[in-house]
Amino acid sequence: MSSKNIPPKRNSLNTVPITPNIGNDKGLQGYATIHNSINDIPPEIWNELAPADSPLLQHQFLSALENTGCVSTGTGWRPNHLAIYGNNQLLAAAPCYLKYHSYGEYIFDWNWAHAYRQAGLTYYPKLLLAVPFTPITNISLLSHPDTNSSAARINLINAAYDLAKDKSASSIHSLFTTHEDNEAFNSKGFFIRKANQFHWTNHGYSDFSDFLSELNSKKRKNIARERKTINSHQITFRWLDGFQATPNDWSFFYSCYENTISGYAAIPYLNLEFFRCVGETMASKVRLLIASHHGVDIASAFFLRGKSALFGRYWGSIKTLPNLHFETCFYQPIDYCIRHQLTSFEAGAQGEHKLSRGLTPTTVFSAHWLSHPDFASAIGTHIDQERRYIEEYQAILSSHSPYKNRP
């Protein structure tokens, strides 16, 4: 482990002792701390735990959210990051927030909050282990490569239990979880919930035409027709990374982002300062796509690139043209993945229209624990019923696969 990986003094933060090998749990010898800002942990130390293909788990992304005020007590996201230290090292950590609402999560529990309110109970605050505003599967329970990851996950969950009790939180939630995290959560009494997204997978395509050749005739012709519309309007696209994007480029992107959000009466969770910040601190991972019409910029989309995947996050336009959204948010990113030999593209939450454009149903998971035994039982039953619905829904979607030779 890095010699720079030095923890804070135990008396400087809220600390919880960790006792090894309690019951059936494999423990880590050390102590847990609660950090009220990600900036309490040096970036190089946090990033030793974050997977290379998860740019949204990088310290730079999480700190940009806090440093620009997008994540704060005032916005209903109070940082309470979990960290476990032992042998003078950071062994494990989890991005964690005390939440006073359910906005910006993409795994919806509004009905649960409503049921609590009807029963005269308080649902908020709740504890959330996740990356804010991010419907992308990520490891929630991070551990150093030299640490027993199974033990680390269990100790982080135990620390979350203690924190929830200390803060009188009704529940603990972890969103867009991995199978490894789910095993740990399930062993500690969490319900594992299923949901659906649409992802694109690169099957070794040589170019966009090769990808189209795998689609059935109807879908192939539809995409060709939509792209022809873009060409007929002489719309051009340029990709920029954080090194290439100028302050004017970011201002233009944000004007598009705001315009589209206001059109849907949605909430602008992020501000211009955030995008400029990640453009600077994550320059090699940021991708900005800008569409121009006769030399005038009219639309833009924001992406993050991992080691082998592209993640689509936000888009907007200041001019409405047919199929501009499909080209900017789907076809250009797919083409980018093929040209750069990336294995997958995740275009965000929801959207059955993605199926017709080559993105296929993909199961995503979340983990939930509720302190109230009666509500926990009722919600557990609901999750079981919901799981069967999701499975049936995905089976129906798969039966309408756009691909010729694959379900």
Give the confidence band of 405 by pLDDT, cuts at 50, 70, 90: confident
Please compute the mean of the pLDDT values over residues 372-392 and round it to a whole number: 97
10-198+363-398: which CATH topology?
Answer: Aminopeptidase (3.40.630)
Worst-scoring range by mean pLDDT, 181-190, 279-288, 302-311, 348-357? Answer: 348-357
What order of strands is seen across the sheet that includes strand 286-293?
77-79, 96-99, 126-129, 171-177, 360-370, 191-201, 344-349, 309-317, 296-305, 286-293, 235-241
Question: How far is the C-alpha of 223 from the C-alpha of 215, rounded, in Å?
Answer: 10
Which CA distances in Å does 304 have to 10, 53, 98, 134?
Answer: 36, 10, 26, 11
pTM: 0.92
By residue count, the chain amounts to: 407
Under CATH, which architecture does the 203-342 domain have?
3-Layer(aba) Sandwich (3.40)
Least reliable range by pLDDT among 44-53, 69-78, 94-103: 44-53
Count of C-beta atoms within a 10 Å radius of residue 124: 16
Domain 10-198+363-398 identical in fold to domain 203-342: yes
Residues 183-199: pLDDT tens digits? 999 999 999 999 999 99
**Residue 286, φ and ψ in degrees, nearest 5:** -80, 140
pLDDT band at 406 (very low <50, low <70, confident <90, very high): low
DSSP summary character for residue 403? B
Pairing between β-strand 77-79 and β-strand 171-177 as defined by DSSP bridges:
unpaired
Q: What is the pLDDT of residues 333-349, one digit of tens each?
A: 999 999 999 999 999 88
Domain residue extents for the chain: 10-198+363-398, 203-342
